[in-house]
């Protein structure tokens, strides 16, 4: 059941945003992250004998997907995988997608994945949710090899010793480590535990990002958070395709009050600028009430050029 380096790959996809915000972009960590199966909600699942490509790029639902993750801190990320398969991004997407071919024997073909979302804290606690037209029969067949089947709140759970858990539900694959990460996700989805969506600060900053962005990240603490900026209580940033040659970045920060936001405008703008290694242009910063928004652009041709490879990227 062991498959490695999925989390580093998904974090690398978030590199569309300021690449220096992903610690692996600067350090090239060699530590491996092991992922295993997660759980399956007890719903009638119709096995899919073959994969059928997504005909349209799915609408961004980064806000809605926040309901799947518990409000336990860490960083939230969302990637529109279907949009990243557009020709303009092939030089960035394909090298990383090739790393996921190791999951083919699970019946998982990431070339048909629509989007993925994740929540991570440090290098050993994470949950990843992926939407695709999975071959459920093949996935279950593989999980039976070394996996232990159980259930939690009506959800089918597959676990492996020291490796985490896997859950399946109507085209959704949930991966988590340690096991209780999966249980907390199920509790959040069922409304038994506060979700990230219930966190007003996170919900508001994500809600102010462009609706059809390629990638999103948001946090109220952790390694991505600008702890040296006074009174900042939540941040979010996204990357979107402006045109065939340009990527746009948007940073949003929420502060304790309007006065704090006004006083921090210059500092937050500087932090956003220094957070990316790309050749940025068209930088704009605005403050409205408790919020600051900074926007900028960079060439698509520079995407994925911050000295990070699939085997080096880590937490």
What are the beta bridge partners of residue 226? none
pTM of the model: 0.79
Mark which of 189, 215, 232 sits at the end of a domain. Answer: 189
**Residue 272 included in any domain:** yes
- DSSP assignment letter at 57: P
**Residue 104 included in any domain:** yes
Mark which of 126, 156, 189 sits at the end of a domain. Answer: 189
Q: Give me the helices (H) in the chain, please.
A: 6-13, 24-27, 62-65, 81-84, 90-97, 136-143, 179-189, 200-207, 258-263, 265-274
Same domain, 175 and 209: no
Segments forming the whole domain that contains residue 27: 3-189
Same domain, 177 and 241: no
**Residue 312 included in any domain:** no
Same domain, 172 and 219: no
Same domain, 33 and 182: yes
Same domain, 180 and 77: yes
Same domain, 185 and 205: no
**Residue 314 included in any domain:** no
**Residue 194 included in any domain:** no
pLDDT (tens, 9 = 90+) of the chain, 315 residues, equals: 344 434 444 554 554 555 444 333 333 333 332 323 333 333 222 333 233 333 344 456 889 899 999 998 889 999 888 888 888 887 777 766 776 666 666 667 777 778 889 998 866 678 888 887 777 777 788 788 778 888 888 777 888 766 677 877 667 788 888 778 888 998 998 899 999 999 999 999 999 999 888 889 999 887 778 878 989 999 999 999 898 899 999 999 999 999 999 999 999 999 999 888 889 999 999 999 999 999 999 998 887 654 333 322 221
């Amino acid at each position: 059941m062991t498959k490695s380096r999925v989390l580093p790959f998904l974090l690398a996809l978030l590199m569309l945003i300021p690449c220096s915000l992903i610690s692996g972009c600067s350090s090239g960590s060699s530590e491996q992250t092991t992922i295993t199966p997660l759980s399956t909600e007890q719903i009638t699942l119709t096995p899919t004998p073959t994969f059928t490509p997504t005909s349209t790029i799915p609408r961004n639902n980064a806000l809605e997907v926040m309901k799947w993750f518990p409000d336990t801190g860490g960083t939230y990320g969302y990637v529109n995988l279907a949009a990243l398969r557009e020709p303009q991004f092939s030089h960035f997407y394909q090298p990383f997608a090739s790393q996921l071919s190791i999951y083919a024997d699970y019946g998982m073909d990431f070339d048909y994945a629509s989007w993925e979302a994740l929540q991570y804290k440090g290098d050993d606690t994470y949950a990843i949710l992926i939407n695709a037209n999975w071959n459920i029969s093949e996935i279950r067949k593989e999980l039976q090899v070394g996996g232990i089947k159980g259930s939690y709140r009506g959800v089918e759970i597959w676990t492996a010793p020291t490796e985490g858990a896997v859950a399946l539900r109507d085209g959704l694959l949930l991966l988590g480590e340690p096991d209780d990460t999966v249980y907390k996700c199920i509790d959040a989805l069922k409304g038994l535990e506060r979700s990230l969506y219930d966190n007003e600060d996170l919900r508001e900053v994500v809600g102010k990002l462009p609706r059809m962005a390629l990638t999103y990240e948001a946090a109220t603490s952790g390694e991505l958070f600008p702890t040296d900026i006074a009174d900042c209580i939540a941040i979010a940033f996204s990357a979107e395709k402006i045109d065939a040659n340009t990527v746009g970045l948007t940073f949003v920060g929420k502060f304790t009050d309007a006065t704090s936001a006004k006083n921090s405008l210059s500092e937050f703008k500087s932090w956003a600028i220094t957070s990316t290694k790309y050749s940025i242009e068209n930088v704009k910063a605005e403050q409205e009430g408790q919020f600051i928004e900074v926007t900028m652009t960079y060439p698509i041709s520079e995407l994925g050029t911050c000295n990070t490879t699939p085997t080096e990227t880590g937490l």
